[in-house]
Protein backbone atom coordinates (compact mmCIF):
# COMPACT_ATOMS: atom_id res chain seq x y z
CA UNK A 1 0.00 0.00 0.00
CA UNK A 2 1.40 3.44 -0.90
CA UNK A 3 1.19 4.93 2.60
CA UNK A 4 2.51 4.31 6.10
CA UNK A 5 1.65 5.09 9.71
CA UNK A 6 3.74 5.26 12.89
CA UNK A 7 3.26 2.97 15.92
CA UNK A 8 3.22 5.70 18.60
CA UNK A 9 0.50 7.62 16.76
CA UNK A 10 -1.39 4.42 15.94
CA UNK A 11 -1.66 3.87 19.70
CA UNK A 12 -3.53 7.20 20.03
CA UNK A 13 -6.31 6.25 17.63
CA UNK A 14 -8.58 5.40 20.57
CA UNK A 15 -8.67 9.14 21.28
CA UNK A 16 -9.85 9.86 17.76
CA UNK A 17 -6.43 10.75 16.36
CA UNK A 18 -5.86 9.62 12.78
CA UNK A 19 -2.71 10.04 10.70
CA UNK A 20 -1.12 8.87 7.50
CA UNK A 21 2.05 9.48 5.46
CA UNK A 22 1.69 8.81 1.75
CA UNK A 23 4.47 7.17 -0.22
CA UNK A 24 5.45 7.20 -3.89
CA UNK A 25 2.52 6.39 -6.17
CA UNK A 26 3.85 4.02 -8.86
CA UNK A 27 1.29 5.04 -11.49
CA UNK A 28 1.40 8.85 -11.31
CA UNK A 29 3.97 10.66 -13.46
CA UNK A 30 5.85 13.15 -11.27
CA UNK A 31 8.64 14.22 -13.62
CA UNK A 32 7.55 17.86 -13.46
CA UNK A 33 7.67 21.02 -11.35
CA UNK A 34 6.09 21.16 -7.90
CA UNK A 35 2.74 22.75 -8.76
CA UNK A 36 2.14 20.33 -11.61
CA UNK A 37 2.89 17.22 -9.57
CA UNK A 38 0.80 18.43 -6.61
CA UNK A 39 -2.14 18.84 -8.98
CA UNK A 40 -1.56 15.35 -10.39
CA UNK A 41 -1.45 13.87 -6.88
CA UNK A 42 -4.32 15.95 -5.45
CA UNK A 43 -7.20 13.58 -6.21
CA UNK A 44 -5.34 10.62 -4.74
CA UNK A 45 -4.31 12.63 -1.69
CA UNK A 46 -7.92 13.66 -1.05
CA UNK A 47 -8.83 9.99 -1.28
CA UNK A 48 -6.36 9.25 1.52
CA UNK A 49 -8.13 11.73 3.80
CA UNK A 50 -11.46 10.07 3.01
CA UNK A 51 -10.08 6.60 3.77
CA UNK A 52 -8.94 7.91 7.17
CA UNK A 53 -12.54 8.91 7.96
CA UNK A 54 -12.38 12.64 7.18
CA UNK A 55 -14.39 14.74 4.76
CA UNK A 56 -11.84 15.52 2.00
CA UNK A 57 -13.34 19.02 1.74
CA UNK A 58 -11.91 19.66 5.22
CA UNK A 59 -8.30 19.09 4.21
CA UNK A 60 -6.23 22.12 5.30
CA UNK A 61 -2.92 22.83 3.55
CA UNK A 62 -0.09 25.29 4.28
CA UNK A 63 1.60 27.30 1.52
CA UNK A 64 5.06 26.14 2.73
CA UNK A 65 7.73 28.79 2.19
CA UNK A 66 10.58 27.24 4.24
CA UNK A 67 9.94 29.55 7.17
CA UNK A 68 8.74 29.15 10.76
CA UNK A 69 5.26 30.67 10.70
CA UNK A 70 2.55 28.51 12.27
CA UNK A 71 -1.17 29.14 11.75
CA UNK A 72 -4.02 28.28 14.11
CA UNK A 73 -6.75 26.62 12.05
CA UNK A 74 -10.35 27.06 13.22
CA UNK A 75 -12.04 26.43 9.88
CA UNK A 76 -11.13 25.18 6.42
CA UNK A 77 -9.12 27.85 4.56
CA UNK A 78 -10.17 28.69 1.01
CA UNK A 79 -6.58 28.35 -0.22
CA UNK A 80 -3.30 27.00 1.21
CA UNK A 81 -2.61 29.18 4.26
CA UNK A 82 -0.20 31.86 2.95
CA UNK A 83 3.26 32.30 4.41
CA UNK A 84 3.01 29.29 6.72
CA UNK A 85 4.90 26.04 7.20
CA UNK A 86 2.93 24.76 10.18
CA UNK A 87 -0.70 24.26 11.11
CA UNK A 88 -2.24 23.58 14.53
CA UNK A 89 -5.87 22.99 15.47
CA UNK A 90 -8.15 21.71 18.22
CA UNK A 91 -11.20 21.41 15.95
CA UNK A 92 -12.42 17.83 15.40
CA UNK A 93 -13.07 16.90 11.80
CA UNK A 94 -10.38 19.11 10.29
CA UNK A 95 -7.46 17.24 8.73
CA UNK A 96 -4.09 18.98 8.41
CA UNK A 97 -1.82 18.34 5.43
CA UNK A 98 1.87 19.04 4.79
CA UNK A 99 3.83 18.18 1.62
CA UNK A 100 7.42 16.92 1.81
CA UNK A 101 10.06 15.42 -0.47
CA UNK A 102 13.19 15.23 1.77
CA UNK A 103 12.15 17.85 4.35
CA UNK A 104 10.69 16.59 7.62
CA UNK A 105 7.01 16.31 8.42
CA UNK A 106 6.56 16.74 12.17
CA UNK A 107 3.39 15.36 13.77
CA UNK A 108 2.36 16.74 17.18
CA UNK A 109 -0.52 15.36 19.26
CA UNK A 110 -1.87 16.52 22.63
CA UNK A 111 -3.54 13.51 24.23
CA UNK A 112 -5.28 15.61 26.91
CA UNK A 113 -6.90 18.35 24.83
CA UNK A 114 -7.08 16.57 21.47
CA UNK A 115 -5.19 19.40 19.77
CA UNK A 116 -2.72 18.50 17.05
CA UNK A 117 -0.15 20.10 14.80
CA UNK A 118 1.66 19.30 11.58
CA UNK A 119 4.86 21.03 10.45
CA UNK A 120 7.10 21.27 7.38
CA UNK A 121 10.63 21.43 8.76
CA UNK A 122 13.66 21.11 6.51
CA UNK A 123 17.04 22.79 6.85
CA UNK A 124 15.69 26.34 7.03
CA UNK A 125 12.61 25.66 9.13
CA UNK A 126 14.66 23.67 11.62
CA UNK A 127 17.26 26.42 11.87
CA UNK A 128 14.42 28.88 12.54
CA UNK A 129 13.00 26.60 15.25
CA UNK A 130 9.56 25.92 13.78
CA UNK A 131 9.02 22.96 16.13
CA UNK A 132 9.73 25.06 19.22
CA UNK A 133 7.48 27.81 17.87
CA UNK A 134 4.59 25.41 17.24
CA UNK A 135 4.87 23.82 20.68
CA UNK A 136 4.84 27.24 22.35
CA UNK A 137 1.81 28.29 20.33
CA UNK A 138 -0.05 25.09 21.24
CA UNK A 139 0.65 25.82 24.91
CA UNK A 140 -0.60 29.40 24.56
CA UNK A 141 -3.71 28.67 22.51
CA UNK A 142 -4.78 25.22 23.70
CA UNK A 143 -3.13 24.86 27.11
CA UNK A 144 -0.95 22.00 25.89
CA UNK A 145 1.46 20.65 28.50
CA UNK A 146 4.76 18.91 27.70
CA UNK A 147 3.78 15.72 29.51
CA UNK A 148 0.70 15.31 27.31
CA UNK A 149 2.43 15.83 23.96
CA UNK A 150 3.66 13.24 21.48
CA UNK A 151 5.98 14.20 18.61
CA UNK A 152 6.69 12.03 15.58
CA UNK A 153 9.13 12.77 12.76
CA UNK A 154 8.41 11.17 9.38
CA UNK A 155 10.98 9.95 6.84
CA UNK A 156 13.30 12.74 5.66
CA UNK A 157 16.76 13.18 4.20
CA UNK A 158 19.62 12.59 6.66
CA UNK A 159 23.40 12.32 6.90
CA UNK A 160 25.39 11.03 5.11
CA UNK A 161 22.99 11.78 2.22
CA UNK A 162 22.64 15.35 3.47
CA UNK A 163 25.06 17.65 5.26
CA UNK A 164 22.60 18.84 7.94
CA UNK A 165 21.03 16.59 10.57
CA UNK A 166 17.85 18.60 10.95
CA UNK A 167 16.04 15.54 12.33
CA UNK A 168 18.27 15.81 15.40
CA UNK A 169 17.44 19.53 15.68
CA UNK A 170 13.71 18.77 15.61
CA UNK A 171 14.06 16.12 18.30
CA UNK A 172 16.12 18.48 20.48
CA UNK A 173 13.48 21.21 20.15
CA UNK A 174 10.87 18.78 21.44
CA UNK A 175 13.03 17.64 24.35
CA UNK A 176 13.95 21.23 25.25
CA UNK A 177 10.24 21.98 25.55
CA UNK A 178 10.04 19.30 28.24
CA UNK A 179 8.36 16.51 26.31
CA UNK A 180 9.39 13.14 27.81
CA UNK A 181 11.94 11.31 25.61
CA UNK A 182 9.61 8.30 25.45
CA UNK A 183 7.07 10.52 23.64
CA UNK A 184 9.45 11.90 21.01
CA UNK A 185 9.79 9.52 18.08
CA UNK A 186 11.81 9.51 14.88
CA UNK A 187 11.31 6.71 12.36
CA UNK A 188 14.97 7.08 11.31
CA UNK A 189 14.26 6.55 7.60
CA UNK A 190 16.18 8.50 4.94
CA UNK A 191 14.05 9.46 1.93
CA UNK A 192 16.94 9.71 -0.53
CA UNK A 193 18.07 6.18 0.34
CA UNK A 194 14.85 4.52 -0.83
CA UNK A 195 13.36 6.18 -3.90
CA UNK A 196 11.28 3.08 -4.60
CA UNK A 197 9.10 4.23 -1.70
CA UNK A 198 9.84 7.94 -1.28
CA UNK A 199 10.18 11.04 -3.43
CA UNK A 200 13.55 12.79 -3.00
CA UNK A 201 13.89 16.40 -4.14
CA UNK A 202 17.69 16.31 -3.90
CA UNK A 203 18.26 12.97 -5.62
CA UNK A 204 15.69 13.64 -8.35
CA UNK A 205 16.90 17.21 -9.02
CA UNK A 206 13.63 18.86 -8.01
CA UNK A 207 11.45 17.10 -10.58
CA UNK A 208 9.58 14.68 -8.39
CA UNK A 209 6.40 14.17 -6.41
CA UNK A 210 5.52 14.98 -2.83
CA UNK A 211 4.58 12.78 0.10
CA UNK A 212 1.60 14.14 2.03
CA UNK A 213 1.52 13.97 5.82
CA UNK A 214 -2.04 13.94 7.20
CA UNK A 215 -3.15 14.42 10.80
CA UNK A 216 -6.41 15.22 12.56
CA UNK A 217 -8.94 14.23 15.20
CA UNK A 218 -12.04 12.53 13.92
CA UNK A 219 -15.33 14.24 14.75
pLDDT tens for residues 71-110?
999 999 999 999 999 999 999 999 999 999 999 999 999 9
- Under CATH, what is the fold of the domain 3-217? 3.60.140
Question: In terms of DSSP H, where are the helices of the chain?
Answer: 7-10, 34-52, 123-127, 130-142, 166-176
Regions of the chain with pLDDT less than 50: none
All structural domains of the chain with their residue ranges: 3-217
Model's pTM, two decimal places? 0.97
How far apart CA 178 and CA 107 sit, in angstroms, is 16
Amino acid sequence: MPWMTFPDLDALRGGGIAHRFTLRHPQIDVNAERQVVVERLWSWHRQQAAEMGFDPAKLCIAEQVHGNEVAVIDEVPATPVPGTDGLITNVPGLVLGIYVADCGAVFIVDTRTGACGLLHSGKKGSELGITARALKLMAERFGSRPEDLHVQLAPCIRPPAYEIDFAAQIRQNALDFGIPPSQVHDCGICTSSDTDRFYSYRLEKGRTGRMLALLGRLA
